[in-house]
């Protein structure tokens, strides 16, 4: 049935192309019943509609509040050819990491989205829809960043015979998106950034058909804290509301990734910010009113300075909060008890050295590693820190004398990789398998190749390996465009294949079904009579790509059985506040 349906989609898409042989100056889309016309742009066989408002201005009394839908006046003609503003954030996204563009324009009136589609798509095409949620430590990110330019993702998928539509929405980050206080809790206004994402997904359900998309075939995907957003959209409302999507991909994060979500981390940080801004008052409601009157520039600069006082990137300070209406309990418990949107086809994975950027390269002793763990996971008990150290003996790692890096660094980096990126991702897939129908797809992957290798070698930081952010150029199929100066033939090939697998998964629920994709993906969970027997992992890129088992068996991908049993235990999840 799926192949028949896809054949019909491709035929409909082809018919659209034949019906419009003359290229229009501006592709247009009409929204009924409001009769709003969007005029977009066309380049490189992709039509783009930018700066489409889906939410009202979040300034003034709307600051920190749940988003309100925006409706264009009847008869509006919208110029959708120019990028919109980013939500408030620092102008230089990440010092020392040149993946992202500098931010040139910010505004609290930032709830806009973009729709990109193959050229000459007509409204009856019913193409699968890929909705991207950007990451950035819950403190940076915007849909107009060139790192997320979907042109070659779309054109590559079209060339493979699996045309898709791409959507991405801005959402509030930092204190603007994740402030928490008693007054915000009382007014059901926690997790505004996640609610922005949800409103964008609801817009897709209402309007994407006018652009030629199928609202019943939507996949959400994201990287880093964007993947956390994906995971939390899956657990939204404890599974009591129908999910506005059918498939999901989580790259380098998951619902249980933000330590402190369930231990009032954002509440504590917001209280500190209130004091710094001299907004302390007799009631939380008065403090909130004061915060809403602080000028944007002052609130932003004070918040960013505070974020950087806590860690070198300013990441993951203001984060989602549970319990709340959107996250009614800790994310790990929602997953463990099956309170999430079930029957969602799922891919989850990580980069081989996902925590390398966030681990001090100067670590050179067991004492230093223990102190790093304690600082990163402040509520993890001393007993569990010692348990973690015993699960990762330093003898399992090697020094890198050419760059003066100790084995202790690699030890700590792998601990944090498994703690945040690997084990919770495995846990998510296991719970999805446990509670969903038998025909629900579950896949796990690890990326073992990075286009940044020559850059790291030149800077004598090869120890970073396949670092965080390494997946973005491949998923967006940009190795031969944005990164052509450092591209290799193998990188270009992998870029085409990995982006193709993501599109194939959006279309079929199978990442290797379309031609020109990463071959031979296996379902991650092998079970017999409902009992899990074996976990399988797709190694993407590197010297030995392909499927490997996870666990104790010979030739398996590391010994993750005991390590993930520890990190995914209810006790450790509770101490981490996830």
Given the structure tokens 């797809």, which residue do they identify? 441
Phi, psi of 453 (to 5 degrees): -55, -45
Residue 162 near residue 7 (C-beta atoms within 8 A): no
Phi, psi of 346 (to 5 degrees): -140, 135
DSSP calls for 167-187: EEE----HHHHH---HHHHHT
Catalytic residue among 224, 332, 470, 536: 224
In the sheet where 77-79 sits, what is the strand order? 28-31, 36-39, 77-79
Q: Which residues contact 363 (CB under 8 A, 6 or more apart)?
A: 369, 372, 406, 408, 409, 412
Which helix (H) or strand (E) segment is 563 a member of?
Answer: helix 560-567
Residue 523 near residue 536 (C-beta atoms within 8 A): yes
| 406 annotated active-site | no
Query: CA nearest 131: which of 167, 165, 162?
Result: 167
Residue 169 near residue 46 (C-beta atoms within 8 A): no
Rounded distance between C-alpha atoms, residue 440 and residue 374, angstroms? 38
Which helix (H) or strand (E) segment is 407 a member of?
Answer: helix 407-416
Structure tokens at 277: 């801004």
Structure tokens at 360: 């001090």
Assign 3-state DSSP to the chain and report helix, strand, coil percentages, each to 5: 40, 15, 45
Q: Which residues contact 52 (CB under 8 A, 6 or more apart)?
A: 38, 78, 80, 112, 113, 114, 115
Structure tokens at 294: 């602080």
Rounded distance between C-alpha atoms, residue 563 and residue 163, angstroms? 40
Measured at the CA of 283, the angle between CA 278 and CA 288, to 5 degrees, comes to: 60
Active site residues: 224
């Amino acid at each position: 049935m799926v192949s028949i349906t896809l054949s019909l989609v491709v035929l409909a898409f082809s018919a659209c192309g034949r019906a419009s042989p003359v290229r229009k100056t501006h592709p247009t889309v009409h929204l009924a019943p409001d009769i709003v016309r969007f005029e977009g742009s066309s380049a490189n066989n992709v039509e783009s509609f930018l700066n489409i408002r889906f939410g009202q201005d979040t300034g003034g009394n709307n600051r920190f509040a749940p988003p309100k839908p925006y409706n264009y006046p009847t008869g509006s003609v919208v110029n959708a050819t120019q990028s919109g503003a980013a939500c408030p954030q620092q102008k230089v996204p990440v010092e020392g990491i040149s993946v992202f563009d500098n931010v040139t324009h910010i505004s609290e009136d930032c709830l806009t989205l973009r729709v990109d589609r193959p050229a000459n798509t007509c409204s009856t095409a019913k193409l699968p829809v890929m909705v991207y949620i950007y990451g950035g430590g819950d403190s940076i990110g915007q849909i107009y960043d060139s790192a997320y330019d979907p042109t070659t993702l779309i054109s590559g998928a079209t060339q493979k015979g699996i045309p898709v539509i791409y959507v991405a929405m801005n959402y509030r980050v930092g204190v603007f998106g994740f402030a928490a206080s008693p007054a915000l809790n009382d007014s059901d206004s926690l997790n505004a950034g996640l609610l922005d994402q949800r409103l964008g997904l609801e817009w897709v359900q209402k309007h994407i058909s006018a652009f030629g998309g199928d609202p019943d075939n939507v996949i959400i995907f994201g990287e880093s804290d964007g993947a956390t957003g994906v995971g939390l959209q899956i657990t939204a409302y404890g599974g009591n509301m129908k999910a506005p999507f059918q498939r999901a991909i989580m790259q380098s994060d998951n619902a249980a990734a933000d330590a402190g979500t369930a231990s009032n981390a954002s509440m504590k940080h917001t209280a500190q910010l209130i004091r710094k801004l001299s907004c302390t008052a007799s009631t939380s409601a008065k403090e909130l009113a004061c915060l809403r009157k602080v000028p944007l520039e002052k609130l932003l600069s004070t918040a960013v300075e505070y974020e950087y006082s806590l860690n070198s990137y300013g990441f993951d300070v203001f984060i989602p909060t549970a319990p709340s209406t959107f996250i009614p309990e800790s994310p790990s418990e929602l997953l463990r008890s099956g309170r999430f949107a079930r029957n969602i086809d799922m891919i989850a994975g990580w980069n081989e050295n996902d925590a390398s950027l966030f681990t001090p390269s100067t670590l050179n002793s067991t004492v230093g590693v223990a102190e790093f763990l304690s600082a990163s996971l402040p509520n993890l008990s001393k007993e569990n820190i010692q348990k973690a150290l015993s699960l990762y003996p330093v003898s399992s790692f090697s020094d890198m004398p050419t760059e003066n890096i100790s084995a202790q660094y690699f030890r700590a980096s792998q601990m944090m990789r498994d703690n945040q990126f690997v084990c919770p991702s495995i846990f998510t897939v296991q719970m999805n398998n446990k509670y969903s129908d038998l025909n629900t797809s579950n896949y796990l992957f690890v990326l073992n190749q990075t286009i940044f290798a020559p850059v790291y070698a030149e800077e004598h930081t090869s120890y970073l390996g396949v670092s965080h952010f390494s997946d973005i150029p491949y998923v967006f199929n940009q190795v031969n465009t944005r990164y052509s100066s450092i591209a290799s033939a193998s990188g270009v090939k992998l870029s085409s294949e990995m982006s193709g697998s993501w599109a194939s998964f959006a279309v079929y629920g199978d990442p290797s079904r379309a031609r020109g994709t990463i071959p031979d993906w296996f379902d991650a969970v092998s079970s017999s009579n409902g009992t899990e027997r074996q976990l399988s992992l797709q190694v993407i890129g590197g010297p030995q790509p392909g499927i490997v088992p996870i666990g104790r068996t010979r030739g398996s991908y590391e010994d993750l059985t005991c390590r993930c049993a520890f990190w995914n235990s209810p006790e450790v999840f509770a101490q981490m506040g996830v």
